[in-house]
Chain A
Amino acid sequence: MIAILFCACVLLILQVLTPFWWWIAVVPFLFGLLFAKKSGKAFGGGLLIGAVVWGGAGLYFFLTSGRLIAGRIAAMFSLGSGWLMVLLTGALGALVAALAAFSGYLVRGQTYTSDKT
């Protein structure tokens, strides 16, 4: 849990300081590579990191000043409500982060195997 929290914080800092969206793949990948002990935990941890950081930020903006732009973007995708954009932002972040963490975990497994042989 501490590793998840740590990675979420690192992700948050990188996302705030730089304009690159793909930290949402890189940081969870490192989480899976360095910290996750089981494949399920890697996937779930990545999911949580992505959902909390992206979904949380989306929710923050929605509740403060982002209601109008969320509504516009929702309409652009022919979706009814700006709330859906919070869900979708969280879901997209969670999906990418989960896949990244899972990949990281599998790559580490591969490295261990190589070490043993």
Chain B
Amino acid sequence: MRWVKAAVSFVLLAALVWALQTPHGAVPPLGKLANPFAGFWRNNASTDRVPERLDLAGLQENVRVVWDDLRIPHIFARNDHDLFLAQGYLMARDRLWQMEFIARFAGGRLSEIVGPRALDQDRFQRRIGMTYAAENFLKGIEGDDESRSILQAYADGVNAYRQSLKPSHFPVEFKILDYAPEPWTMMNTALLLKYMAWDLTGGNQDFALTRFQEALGEAVADELFPYVAPFQDPVIPPGTKWDFGRAVDERKGGPPTASGSSDTPRSRPPADPFDDVIGSNNWALAGTKTKSGFPLLCNDPHLALNLPSIWYAVQLSAPGLNAYGVALPGAPGIITGFNEHVAWGTTNAGADVLDWSKIRFRDASLGEYAYDGGWRKTTIRKEEIKIRGRAPVVEDVIYTHHGPVPFPEGGTAINPDVPPGCALRWAAHDPSGVLNTFFSLDRAASYKDFREAIRTFDCPGQNFVYADGRGGIAIWHNGKYPLRNKGQGRTILDGSLPADDWTAWVPMDEVPHVENPPRGFVSSANQSPVDATYPYYLGWDFGSFERGARINEILEATSNAAPEDMVKMQTDALSPRARMALPKLLGMVPRDRLGATAAQVRDRLAGWDFVFHADGLEPTVFDRFWREFYAAVWNDDFRSGGSSLPTPRSDVTLDLLLNKPGSLYFDDKTTPAVETAAEIAARAFSAAVAGLEKELGPIGEKWAWGKARGTEVRHLARIPGFGTPLLAVTGGGGTINNTSRTSGPSWRMVVSLGPEVEAWGVFPGGESGNPGSRYYDNMVPAWAAGTSYKIVFLRTPDEANPRLIGKTEMGGGR
């Protein structure tokens, strides 16, 4: 029987080896991962050492890299090709997994590595035309030798690094998810740009508003989802004259065109009305308002926060170019930053560049659709999705001349914003010059250069703030915007009507902008770009007034500003909403009718300064109070009895509370009595306190905003333990330091212009993408505390600076 024993033992061994070799669902292949010679142990902090020499095949001349104490590289090349080759190499060295993962996500290729659990996500990306958009981008730059050579040099740099990597040194996420990096292509960079475009322009309320309008009529829709949101203080100072030197070709041809019908009202949960917390700020002060007499420029773009960090700080220097700023892993150049002459920064514009059009197909074959009184043929684009451990799936996506029809009638749309049976017209499907903008901005030396540079920036539209060392400031609500009738595209359109096609664009010189306004500053915070005098219709769903109003209020009162004041201002946490709503709300909550805890809480709120301090309980209570109030006002109107319509925004709710307290929307329709706003507020307050007591226990440390809410930076693939702990940060939705549980300022920058440009910056993470590196999250404590680092900006590679930690010579190698 010895052979039985031997066989059993051998089979057991084989089974163990197999089990440790293979990933099981979300469990990584443990044998590979634990192997100390090639597994996670090799992703240690030895990557932090600065090499004296790096061989990089393809370099035409030597490149010098100087590293500062945040391990940020300052790249000095002798020509553009070498500069972007080195940038690709160094960014891959720190962020290879991240850039590859995002390109895969964008292009709908996650199932290839994680199996069927990502299939729905992949189908969605393919069906909204992400790969189509990226291909169009590449086609669009076919004749653009400069862009192509920069993209190619960058890709060559990434690939040179990738090829130099032994599997034992693959970033640890490759080992956990058990796959290998593949060659980097220009297509990946294109996909990355489209990922950003979707992130910034993909959200829309067209479908939700259509359902709302069908249920309650246009008048109610226009009242509760107004064209101009209340309390707006627009980006371009009201009263700015629009002098375009010619008659404007506006399309105010009567009422908004007939909208199609959604036909398929579905009950899906509407978007969380509080998700408007993602938003960005930028502003510039003229020299008349600063201590130095030269402009100050500030920018803090807000996004869902991730590790490895969203941004990669870098200095790029070559003849005719010396710029510092943050780059997007996977794309060459610098996105927001400064050079010796000018500085620039962006916030999302929020103009409407995405329409849905109802398509009437001739028959079930979906081969033809009604258009302009006749029939047009559709085309089919096949999207093959490879799936790890399974046969591939092929998705047939129908395209009309508008664009793809992501989900046919009766299909499951995956994303609740996508109406079935409708074609998607999205500006990001068109060829784009966005990269040219950054290549040109990096070397801009004047307002004229800036102006020329952003002219090619089409989608996603951005508020570009500008300042230069000669004293000029400006802001452009810049993008390629379709010429529309008022309200066109606000709801689902009729895809058979040519009148709703995008045939012309707001001229790039006539998008909202202002240069050196008399008030001495420019700013934007995603709010409405303009007042009612602007001749074109750009959309309606801009950000709420709060951050913009607060920024303008502070800047109005500012004089003699120093950079430190701006760093501090970027973490301002005063809530305009609380300041406006709370006195009114508390007046509706009589103290004598409250229990002991509620009365204590009410007293604290009554003495609050409306600042979302991390250690205060007031923000926790106000935030909850407002949510309860909001839900009590709207849920009975639009979300009861099986209906699931969108609910109005917080700013509309605030307007109702302050200016229309007698409104019938305050009545709780689920009761026979007619409630007033005061009764609803009192109920909401009691519910808020009771809810918090239940969740957090008696009043104590747990009630502190930084603990009860806090902010965490999660790992991009949500690997547990690879993010930050919950950070006790100030701020909340609608404050300048606009934080939520998982989002916030992804980069804070302050630039002081003048003969000697100086700058400060911080982002919630670090330069390295390696979780085993000291530089993975080394900037997090400073970010959470609201401080910024002085930026090391060098004029030459030989410049002495006490904060430099090493130099690397990069040579042609081989």
Q: Report which A residues bind B (CB closer than 8 A).
A: 15-16, 19-22, 24-25, 29, 54, 57-58, 60-62, 64-70, 72-78, 88-89, 92-93, 95-96, 99-100, 102-103, 106-107, 109-110, 113
Instruction: Tell me if B17 counts as interface (CB < 8 A to partner A).
Output: yes
Per-residue A-contact encoding for B755-793, CB less than 8 Å = 1, 0 else: 000000000000000111110100000000000000000
B37 touches A16 (CB 8 A): yes
A73 touches B40 (CB 8 A): yes
A103 touches B31 (CB 8 A): no
B720 touches A25 (CB 8 A): no
> Which residues of B in the span 3-17 have a Cβ within 8 Å of any Cβ on A?
3, 5-6, 9-10, 12-13, 16-17
A89 and chain B: residue at smallest CB distance: B34
B38 touches A19 (CB 8 A): yes
Instruction: Tell me if B2 counts as interface (CB < 8 A to partner A).
Output: yes
Instruction: Tell me if B44 counts as interface (CB < 8 A to partner A).
Output: yes
B34 touches A54 (CB 8 A): yes
Instruction: Tell me if B719 counts as interface (CB < 8 A to partner A).
Output: yes
Q: Distance (Å) between the CB of A30 and the closest chain B CB? A: 13
Instruction: Tell me if B46 counts as interface (CB < 8 A to partner A).
Output: yes
Complex partner residue of B13 from A16, A66, A99, CB under 8 angstroms:
A99
Chain A residue contacts of B20, Cβ below 8 A: 21, 92, 96
A100 and chain B: residue at smallest CB distance: B13
- Beyond A66-B41, A69-B40, A75-B720, whether A22 also contacts B772 by CB under 8 A is no
A72 touches B32 (CB 8 A): no
B6 touches A92 (CB 8 A): no
Instruction: Tell me if B111 counts as interface (CB < 8 A to partner A).
Output: no
Give Cα A65–Cα B13 distance, bound, in whole angstroms.
33
Chain A residue contacts of B43, Cβ below 8 A: 69
B2 touches A110 (CB 8 A): yes
Give Cα A57–Cα B600 distance, bound, in whole angstroms.
59
Chain B residue contacts of A110, Cβ below 8 A: 2-3, 6
A91 and chain B: residue at smallest CB distance: B34
Chain B residue contacts of A77, Cβ below 8 A: 721
Complex partner residue of B721 from A57, A72, A95, A103, CB under 8 angstroms:
A72
A69 touches B771 (CB 8 A): yes
Q: Distance (Å) between the CB of A58 and the closest chain B CB? A: 5
Chain B residue contacts of A100, Cβ below 8 A: 13
A76 touches B719 (CB 8 A): yes
Instruction: Tell me if B813 counts as interface (CB < 8 A to partner A).
Output: no
Apart from A64-B46, A92-B31: 8 A-B pairs, beta carbons within 8 A:
A19-B167, A21-B21, A57-B41, A68-B776, A73-B40, A96-B13, A106-B5, A107-B6
Give Cα A99–Cα B772 distance, bound, in whole angstroms.
32
A15 touches B35 (CB 8 A): yes
Can you report 22 A-B residue pairs in the complex whose CB atoms are below 8 A from each other?
A15-B38, A19-B167, A20-B38, A21-B31, A25-B13, A25-B16, A54-B34, A54-B36, A61-B36, A62-B41, A66-B772, A69-B40, A69-B43, A70-B41, A72-B771, A78-B720, A92-B30, A92-B31, A96-B20, A99-B13, A106-B10, A110-B2
Chain A residue contacts of B17, Cβ below 8 A: 22, 25, 96
Instruction: Tell me if B593 counts as interface (CB < 8 A to partner A).
Output: no
Instruction: Tell me if B90 counts as interface (CB < 8 A to partner A).
Output: no
Instruction: Tell me if B722 counts as interface (CB < 8 A to partner A).
Output: yes
Give Cα A88–Cα B31 distance, bound, in whole angstroms.
11
Chain B residue contacts of A72, Cβ below 8 A: 172, 721-722, 771-772
Q: Report which B residues bind A (CB closer than 8 A).
A: 2-3, 5-6, 9-10, 12-13, 16-17, 20-21, 30-46, 48, 166-168, 172, 176, 719-722, 770-774, 776
B43 and chain A: residue at smallest CB distance: A69
Give Cα A66–Cα B773 distance, bound, in whole angstroms.
9
B42 and chain A: residue at smallest CB distance: A61
Give Cα A57–Cα B34 distance, bound, in whole angstroms.
11
Give Cα A78–Cα B720 distance, bound, in whole angstroms.
8
Give Cα A88–Cα B720 distance, bound, in whole angstroms.
19
Chain A residue contacts of B776, Cβ below 8 A: 68
Chain B residue contacts of A89, Cβ below 8 A: 34, 36, 41
A57 touches B37 (CB 8 A): yes
B35 touches A64 (CB 8 A): no
A113 touches B34 (CB 8 A): no
- Beyond A99-B12, A103-B6, A107-B10, whether A68 also contacts B41 by CB under 8 A is no
Chain B residue contacts of A68, Cβ below 8 A: 44-45, 771-774, 776
Q: Distance (Å) between the CB of B170 and the closest chain A CB? A: 9
Give Cα A57–Cα B35 distance, bound, in whole angstroms.
9
B35 and chain A: residue at smallest CB distance: A21
Complex partner residue of A58 from B31, B36, B720, CB under 8 angstroms:
B36
Give Cα A80–Cα B34 distance, bound, in whole angstroms.
17
B31 touches A73 (CB 8 A): no
Give Cα A15–Cα B774 distance, bound, in whole angstroms.
27
A112 and chain B: residue at smallest CB distance: B2
Chain B residue contacts of A74, Cβ below 8 A: 721
Give Cα A109–Cα B32 distance, bound, in whole angstroms.
31
- Beyond A89-B34, A92-B34, A113-B2, whether A103 also contacts B44 by CB under 8 A is no
A75 and chain B: residue at smallest CB distance: B721
B41 touches A21 (CB 8 A): no
Give Cα A35–Cα B356 distance, bound, in whole angstroms.
74
Give Cα A25–Cα B48 distance, bound, in whole angstroms.
33
B44 touches A64 (CB 8 A): yes
Q: Distance (Å) between the CB of A86 and the closest chain B CB? A: 9
A57 touches B36 (CB 8 A): yes
Chain B residue contacts of A88, Cβ below 8 A: 34
Chain A residue contacts of B46, Cβ below 8 A: 64-65
Most A-side CB within 10 Å, residue of B3, B13, B38, B722: B13
Give Cα A40–Cα B191 distance, bound, in whole angstroms.
58
A60 and chain B: residue at smallest CB distance: B36
Complex partner residue of B9 from A62, A70, A99, CB under 8 angstroms:
A99
Give Cα A73–Cα B175 distance, bound, in whole angstroms.
12
Give Cα A24–Cα B40 distance, bound, in whole angstroms.
16
- Beyond A19-B38, A76-B721, whether A109 also contacts B2 by CB under 8 A is yes
B9 touches A103 (CB 8 A): yes
